[in-house]
Amino acid sequence: MLSKTVSRPEVTPVRILFASSEAVPFATTGGLGDVCGSLPFALANLGHDVRVIIPAYRGIWYAGREIRSLGLEFIVSVGSKTVSGRLLESRADNVTFYFVQQDYYYDRDALYNVHGQDYADNCERFVFFDRAVMEAIRLLDFVPDILHVHDWQTGLVPAYLKIEYSQSPLYRGIGSVLTIHNLAYQGRFWHWDMLLTGLDWKYFNWRQMEFYGQLSFLKTGIVFADTISTVSPRYAQEIQTPEFGWGLEGVLRSRRDVLYGILNGIDDTVWNPETDPHIACRYNAQTVFQGKAICKKALQEEMGLPVRPDAPLISMIGRITHQKGFDMVADILPYWLEKEDAQWVILGTGDTALEQRFREFADRWPQKIAVRIDFCHPLAHRIHAGADIFVMPSRFEPCGLAQLQALRYGTVPVVREIGGLADTIVDCRSENAAGGRANGFSFSSEDPWELSRTLQRACETYRQPDLWRQLIQNGITQDWSWRHSAPRYIEMYEDTLRRVRGTNQ
C-alpha cells in the first residue's frame, strides 16, 4: 500500500469524472452513495472540476433538484443487442451530475433488487451503464483527466478504457481509478454473460476477468484500473489477506504498489450538532454536555423509555446483519436487559430473523430497550445526539461512517478493532486516556462476551464524569470531514497521471 505523500507546490486543477451506481441526494443504499455524493463537493472546493454520472433511476426525480435533458442520445452494444439511451443533467452547488436514462433498465422500484432478490438482468444493466459512461465522455463537453469508478457496478469501465478506447486521441491520457467500498460485493455472473460485455473471450481467464468459472466485474476493475483505492488504510491491508480478501487477495497483492487506503470523511454540513434541524437542542464542543442532556431526555420520551439521566443510553444504527455484528448484540442482550442498568435504542432494517429477535426483546423489556425496524434519517440524527454510547461490532468494516457521525455528536463508540474502525477509534486504555488520545472503546475478537465486557468498561467509565467528559471532548473536536481526506485523493490522482502520461508533473 502506498503511503508516500506527493509534494504539490501549487494547485493544478484536475478534471475528474466520478462514475458510480449511487450518489446522494439522488440515489443511495448506504456508504457508497454518501461518498459519491459528498467527496466530489470537497474536491471541487479545492479548485478541481468534478462531475458525477449515475443511472437515471426512478428515484432521482424525487430528490428535489431540477433535472434537464441535454438532448444527447447514444446507442451502445450489449451482447447481440443495440440499446439506446440519453443523458440528463442536474447541478448542485459546484458539482454537475449526469444521469444515464434507459427506462427499461433503471425505471424500477429499487436500485439492485426487490424483495431480497437481485434483478436477474443486473449484469446487462451495468454492462449498459459502463458502456454509456464511455460514450458520455465523447458526447459531453468534458474530457476528464481521471475517470474514478466505484465498486463492482462500474468495474468494466477501466477494461473498456484500456481495451477499446485507449487508441482514440480523445481518451488517450485518461487515468482510471477504482475505489473498493466493500470487497464482499463483487458482481459475479454466469460465464456466458461474458458475451454481454462485448469483450474478447481471451480476457476471460484467471488473470483478468474470470473468477472460479464466473465473470467478475470487480476483479476486472482491479486488474485493468491504473490505480486502486479502498476507504481506509487498515482495510487496504486487510483485503490482501485470506481472512478479508474474499478470494481476491492474490490479485490485490499483485497490485499493491498502486493500492491506496484513504479514510472516508463525513459531510459535516449534514452531520453537525450545531446546525442540525432534527435534534431537540443544538450544541457544539463548548455546550455538548448541556445539549446532549436535553437531547437524551427528548430521545427517551420519543422512544417510550423512562427518562433516566443516570442510566447510560446505548445505541445501534445500521443494517441489521451478521456483517454489522447485530447477531453478537442479540446474543448478549438478554443478559444486559436482565442484569445491567442501561437502556438501549436500536434503529435499522435487514435480516428478518434478527429483526424479529429485537422486536421480541422490546416486547419483553419495554422499560429497557426500544426498537425501530425502519431507517429514518432524522431519527438517526436524534439517536446520535441523545445516546451516550454507540455500538458497532462489525465482522468486517471497510471504513464505517456511523462511528464518525457518533463522534461528531459527542457519543462514545464501542467498536470491533477492524478496518476503518481500527483507524478511527482509540481505545480508552490507561495510556491512551492519559495521553488525551482515547475517543472510545474497542475489542478484537468475534466473541459476543468480549463485546459485553467492553460495553461494561464503557458503562463503568460513564460513571466517572471527568474521564467521560474527556472522551466526549476528544471525539467531538476531531476533524473527520472530507477536508481532511480530499487532499489525499488529489495526491493519488496526480500520481496516477504521472504513471499514465509518463510525465514529471
- Tens of pLDDT, residue by residue over 342-360, are 999 999 999 999 999 999 9
106 vs 55: CA distance, rounded Å: 7
Q: Please write the tens of the pLDDT for every residue from 43-55.
A: 999 999 999 999 9
Note whether 176 and 244 are same-domain residues: yes
Note whether 240 and 357 are same-domain residues: no
Does residue 5 lie within any of the structural domains?
no
Note whether 346 and 427 are same-domain residues: yes
Residue 321 binned pLDDT confidence (cut-offs 50, 70, 90):
very high
Burial (CB count within 10 angstroms: exposed 0-12, middle 13-18, buried 19+), residue 17: buried
442 vs 418: CA distance, rounded Å: 9
- pLDDT of 166 strictly over 50: yes
Note whether 205 and 307 are same-domain residues: no
Q: What share of the chain is helix, strand, coil (3-state, %, to 5)?
A: 40, 20, 40
**Could you tell me the end-to-end alpha-carbon distance of the chain, in angstroms, rounded to an integer?**
22
The number of angstroms, rounded, from the C-alpha of 336 to the middle of its chain's C-alpha atoms is 31
Does residue 437 lie within any of the structural domains?
yes
Residue 260 binned pLDDT confidence (cut-offs 50, 70, 90):
very high
Note whether 326 and 238 are same-domain residues: no
Average pLDDT, the chain: 94
Note whether 196 and 302 are same-domain residues: no
The x, y and z cell numbers of residue 87, run together, are 443523458
447 vs 425: CA distance, rounded Å: 19
Pick from 73-77, 318-322, 411-415: least confident = 318-322
User: Which stretch of DSSP H or E encloses residue 489?
Assistant: helix 482-501
Note whether 89 and 213 are same-domain residues: yes
User: What's the pLDDT score for residue 157?
Assistant: 98
Domain that holds residue 21: 15-265+483-501
Q: Please write the tens of the pLDDT for every residue from 176-217.
A: 999 999 999 999 999 999 999 999 999 999 999 999 999 999
The torsion angle over the Cα atoms of residues 191, 196, 200 and 201, rounded to 10 degrees, is: 10
- pTM to 2 decimals? 0.92
- pLDDT of 361 strictly over 90: yes
Residue pair 161/68 in contact (Cβ under 8 Å)? The answer is: no
Residue pair 221/203 in contact (Cβ under 8 Å)? The answer is: no
Note whether 298 and 414 are same-domain residues: yes
Total structural domains within the chain: 2
Note whether 489 and 475 are same-domain residues: no
Residue pair 72/101 in contact (Cβ under 8 Å)? The answer is: no
Note whether 456 and 495 are same-domain residues: no
User: What's the pLDDT score for residue 8?
Assistant: 44
257 vs 231: CA distance, rounded Å: 17
Does residue 1 lie within any of the structural domains?
no
- pLDDT of 22 strictly over 60: yes
Note whether 471 and 496 are same-domain residues: no
**Residue 150 phi, psi (nearest 5):** -135, 120
89 vs 69: CA distance, rounded Å: 6
Does residue 448 lie within any of the structural domains?
yes
Q: Please write the tens of the pLDDT for every residue from 439-491.
A: 999 999 999 999 999 999 999 999 999 999 999 999 999 999 999 899 999 99
- pLDDT of 5 strictly over 60: no
Does residue 406 lie within any of the structural domains?
yes
Residue pair 328/446 in contact (Cβ under 8 Å)? The answer is: yes
Q: What is the CATH number of the domain that holds 370?
A: 3.40.50.2000
User: What's the pLDDT score for residue 437?
Assistant: 85
- The predicted model gives 46-75 an average pLDDT of 96
Does residue 107 lie within any of the structural domains?
yes
Does residue 10 lie within any of the structural domains?
no
Helix (H, G, I), strand (E, B) or coil at 473: helix
Does residue 275 lie within any of the structural domains?
no
User: What's the pLDDT score for residue 3?
Assistant: 40
- The predicted model gives 101-109 an average pLDDT of 97
Note whether 55 and 85 are same-domain residues: yes
